[in-house]
Amino acid sequence: MTGVWAAPGRVNIIGEHTDYNGGLSLPIAIPQRVLCTLTARQDAAIHVASQQHGQNWIGLPLDRLADSDIGGWARYPFGVAHEFLKRGHNIGGMDLRLDGNVPVGAGLSSSAAVECAVAVAIRDTFAPGVSDFELIDITHRAENDFVGAPTGVLDQSASMLCTAGHALILDAATGVHADVPFDLAAARLELVVIDTGTPHDHATGEYATRRRQCEEAAHLLGVHSLGALTDASAVDLLTDPVLRARARHVATENARVREVVAILRAGSDPRSIGPILTRGHISLSEDFAVSTAQLDAAAASAREAGAYGARMTGGGFGGSVIALADAGSSAQIGKAVAQRFSAHGWTGPQVFVVEPSDGARRVR
């Protein structure tokens, strides 16, 4: 018994570092995806292999997953299987072969794409009663608890729930979500991704530090999470300038998500969201301090080359910038960014165009 499932990466249009703060975000799924071929085994073991990591098989008995200290890429699919078992789902032995084209370390959620492709494959093969919403929780818990990356629920939600031609408005506090029209082609626009080639790793310290700072700020302000703030001026009560800046980003970013959604739902020209994206980048760079010199340079160069707005996407500390521009602009934007990178002696960026795509599903 063999099948093939796919799950996409994502870019976040606006709403960064808000999900673990119980706030709002607006991602799209992208055409780049991870494929998972699942073949059932007769024994109670799980074997994983990746086209991008040497194609060598790594195997474990299912009942040894909890004790496994295997690191690297294999920990993501093992973590998903472990989470199914923890919840009492009767899954059998399997071979999982992974392949895909979501750039790793680019802030486009390659890890969530792996997790969701594996999760839908296991669900459809062994546990068909599991809902998409439980799959989001399974994959999120696998990343948090098994892998040890303290991320929010945005990436898995986008990979599971997004639909072509739309962005997804997601309220992380309640799980409430809805499609928002985002037909770039109809508006003669394109969304350009600029992968700066500076990889990040959310399983290491700085991401966790930002999360702790947000929790401390929320405690001092007397709210259960910063997403509950309805008035951004409330952050002025914080005397610590770092905590005040972190909280200000979350409060103003939630407002930016609402502003972008209102524009898109009203059918206004999507070009008008460009300056909001730019304000989001400035907030991430100055208040949340998760940008880098390369991300700042890429965003600035894209705007100078004609983009209506540009911002880093993903958790930061490396990764990618997105730029909203007229259709056919990616070459001139890529050239402008490459020239600036060359002047600094940095490795040249990878530039490509994405469009709002469908979420995880079986493909064969």
Does residue 20 carry a pLDDT above 90? yes
Q: What percent of the chain has pLDDT over 90?
A: 93
Q: What is the pTM of this model?
A: 0.94
Give the chain's mean pLDDT.
Answer: 96
Q: What average pLDDT score do residues 74-79 get?
A: 97
Does residue 347 carry a pLDDT above 90? yes
List beta partners, residue 46.
60, 94
Domain membership of residue 359 (yes or no) is: no
Q: What average pLDDT score do residues 62-83 get?
A: 95
Q: What is the CATH number of the domain that holds 207?
A: 3.30.70.890
For position 201, what pLDDT does the model report?
A: 62
Q: What is the CATH number of the domain that holds 25?
A: 3.30.230.10
Within this chain, do residues 68 and 150 fall inside the same structural domain, yes or no? yes
Residue 220 is part of which domain span?
A: 183-354
Within this chain, do residues 197 and 151 fall inside the same structural domain, yes or no? no
Within this chain, do residues 188 and 175 fall inside the same structural domain, yes or no? no
The answer to whether 90 and 127 have CB atoms below 8 angstroms apart is: yes
Integer CA distances (angstroms), 5 to 37, 118, 308, in order: 6, 8, 36
Question: Which pair of structure tokens corresponds to residue 93?
Answer: 């032995």
Within this chain, do residues 194 and 343 fall inside the same structural domain, yes or no? yes
Within this chain, do residues 105 and 82 fall inside the same structural domain, yes or no? yes
Domain membership of residue 172 (yes or no) is: yes
Domain membership of residue 362 (yes or no) is: no
Domain membership of residue 363 (yes or no) is: no
Residues 6 or more apart whose CB falls under 8 angstroms from that of 208 comprise 150
- List pLDDT tens digits, range 253-302: 999 999 999 999 999 999 999 999 999 999 999 999 999 999 999 999 99
Q: What average pLDDT score do residues 121-137 get?
A: 97
Within this chain, do residues 168 and 187 fall inside the same structural domain, yes or no? no
The residue from 179, 197, 222 where one domain ends is 179
Within this chain, do residues 69 and 200 fall inside the same structural domain, yes or no? no
Give the C-alpha separation, 193 to 246, whole Å.
Answer: 26
Domain membership of residue 341 (yes or no) is: yes
Return the closest-CA partner of residue 78 out of 88, 159, 311, 91.
91
Number of domains within the chain:
2
Torsion of CA 128, 131, 137, 141, to 10 degrees: 0
Q: What is the pLDDT confidence band of residue 6, given thresholds at 50, 70 and 90?
A: very high
Domain membership of residue 77 (yes or no) is: yes
- List pLDDT tens digits, range 306-325: 999 999 999 999 999 999 99
- List pLDDT tens digits, range 196-255: 998 766 545 788 999 999 999 999 999 999 999 989 999 999 999 999 999 999 999 999
Within this chain, do residues 138 and 220 fall inside the same structural domain, yes or no? no
Q: What is the pLDDT confidence band of residue 191, given thresholds at 50, 70 and 90?
A: very high
The residue from 140, 160, 179 where one domain ends is 179
Active site (catalytic) residues:
155
Within this chain, do residues 139 and 259 fall inside the same structural domain, yes or no? no
The answer to whether 163 and 359 have CB atoms below 8 angstroms apart is: yes
Q: What average pLDDT score do residues 180-184 get?
A: 96
Within this chain, do residues 174 and 261 fall inside the same structural domain, yes or no? no
For position 204, what pLDDT does the model report?
A: 58
For position 294, what pLDDT does the model report?
A: 97
Domain membership of residue 93 (yes or no) is: yes
Within this chain, do residues 158 and 198 fall inside the same structural domain, yes or no? no
What SS3 string covers the chain? CEEEEEEEEEEEEECCCCHHHCCEEEEEEEEEEEEEEEEECCCCEEEEEEHHHCCCCEEEEHHHHHHCCCCHHHHHHHHHHHHHHHCCCCCCCEEEEEEECCCCCCCCCHHHHHHHHHHHHHHHHHCCCCCHHHHHHHHHHHHHHHHCCCCCCHHHHHHHHCCCCEEEEEECCCCCEEEEECCCHHHCEEEEEEECCCCCCCCCHHHHHHHHHHHHHHHHHCCCCHHHCCCHHHHHHCCCHHHHHHHHHHHHHHHHHHHHHHHHHCCCCHHHHHHHHHHHHHHHHHCCCCCCHHHHHHHHHHHHCCCCEEEEECCCCCCEEEEEEECCCHHHHHHHHHHHHHHHCCCCCEEEEECCECCCEECC
Domain membership of residue 364 (yes or no) is: no
Within this chain, do residues 318 and 202 fall inside the same structural domain, yes or no? yes
The residue from 127, 150, 179 where one domain ends is 179
